[in-house]
């Protein structure tokens, strides 16, 4: 009986050690926008965000540790004052992306603007990319179904990442999906499993249903949350610029570089 041939140490970060296999990626995704209904920014009840989606970063498996270390070091530099004031160890301290990426912070702190461009560049230099998928919310509040919306966005995210692995690589690549903990975990994991093994169009590149973890313990998921916070600001401006004119600052400073680091991404607009 002949044994399968093996390589020595992998010459390309993240690559499988079996001949003929491509990279394995890890996609870290978090929510952006708001899951609830939206009528207008001036509506007294339904005014949170005109979009909802998932955003984050996709890294080759072999680059995950080094990127996490880089992000941890930059986080400690950028937010040194806040971290020292907190009681937590820096490794388990987190700043939410929606609180970091505000108009005031971007306008006031040059350090944040410099970091953001380095952040985008670092993802690309690791062989990864930024990824987001979302939907503009146009249904009336009485017709809005938050859990259905989340599952639809998750299906679309898995589809696009699967297409990336199938169509933009030779040999075929594969991916894991890591997400923040969610109260609808069972439904979301089931949705992903059904997508993986759908009889008509299975998502063959997804290795396992999503792993859900505590973001404060994972630098990579904190990085995804920062990208989600950023994408939420951009998405609100893209879909409803008249209601969010102040968010043009994100477009001015970052849009071109952000778009250049994204793959298979977009927000479905229905207006």
Identify the CATH number of the domain in which residue 212 sits: 3.30.420.10
Does some domain include residue 8?
A: no
Q: Identify whether the C-beta of residue 147 lies closer than 8 Å to the C-beta of residue 190.
A: no
Does some domain include residue 49?
A: yes
Does some domain include residue 195?
A: yes
pLDDT of residue 125: 97
Does some domain include residue 5?
A: no
Does some domain include residue 16?
A: no
Does some domain include residue 11?
A: no
pLDDT of residue 21: 59
Q: Identify whether the C-beta of residue 212 lies closer than 8 Å to the C-beta of residue 30.
A: no
Does some domain include residue 60?
A: yes
Tens of pLDDT along the chain (271 residues) come to 443 333 333 434 444 444 445 789 999 999 999 999 999 999 999 999 999 999 999 999 999 999 999 999 999 999 999 999 998 899 999 999 999 999 999 999 999 999 999 999 999 999 999 999 999 999 999 999 999 999 999 999 999 999 999 988 777 899 999 998 877 778 888 888 888 998 888 999 999 999 998 999 999 999 999 999 999 999 999 999 999 999 999 999 999 999 999 999 999 986 5
pLDDT of residue 114: 98
Q: Which domain holds residue 210?
A: 24-268
pLDDT of residue 185: 75
pTM of the model: 0.89
Q: Identify whether the C-beta of residue 239 lies closer than 8 Å to the C-beta of residue 266.
A: no
Domain count, the chain: 1
* Cβ-based neighbours of 19, under 8 Å, separated by 6 or more: 5, 6, 7
Does some domain include residue 17?
A: no
Sign (positive/negative) of CA torsion 123, 125, 127, 129? positive
């Amino acid at each position: 009986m002949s044994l399968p041939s093996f390589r020595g140490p992998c010459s390309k970060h993240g690559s499988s050690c079996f001949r003929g296999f491509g990279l394995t990626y890890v996609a870290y995704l978090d929510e952006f926008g708001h899951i609830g209904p939206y009528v207008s920014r001036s509506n007294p009840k339904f005014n949170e965000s005109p979009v909802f989606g998932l955003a984050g970063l996709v890294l080759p498996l072999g680059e995950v540790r080094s990127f996490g270390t880089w992000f941890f070091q930059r986080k400690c530099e950028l937010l040194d004052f806040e971290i020292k004031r907190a009681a937590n160890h820096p490794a388990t301290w987190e700043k939410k992306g929606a609180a970091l990426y505000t108009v005031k912070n971007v306008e006031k702190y040059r350090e944040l603007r410099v970091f953001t461009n380095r952040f985008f560049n670092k993802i690309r230099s690791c062989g990864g990319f930024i990824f987001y998928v979302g939907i503009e919310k146009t249904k009336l509040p009485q017709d809005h179904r938050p859990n259905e919306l989340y599952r639809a966005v998750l299906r679309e995210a898995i589809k696009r990442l699967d297409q990336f692995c199938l169509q933009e690589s030779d040999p075929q690549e594969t991916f894991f999906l890591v997400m923040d903990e969610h109260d609808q975990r069972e439904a979301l994991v089931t949705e992903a499993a059904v997508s993986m093994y759908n009889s008509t169009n299975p998502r063959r590149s997804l290795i396992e249903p999503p792993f859900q973890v505590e973001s404060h313990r994972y630098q990579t998921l904190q990085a995804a949350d920062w990208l989600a916070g950023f994408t939420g600001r951009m998405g609100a401006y893209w879909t409803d610029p008249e209601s969010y004119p102040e968010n043009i600052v994100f477009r001015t400073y970052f849009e071109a570089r952000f778009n250049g680091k994204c793959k298979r991404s977009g927000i479905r607009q229905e207006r």
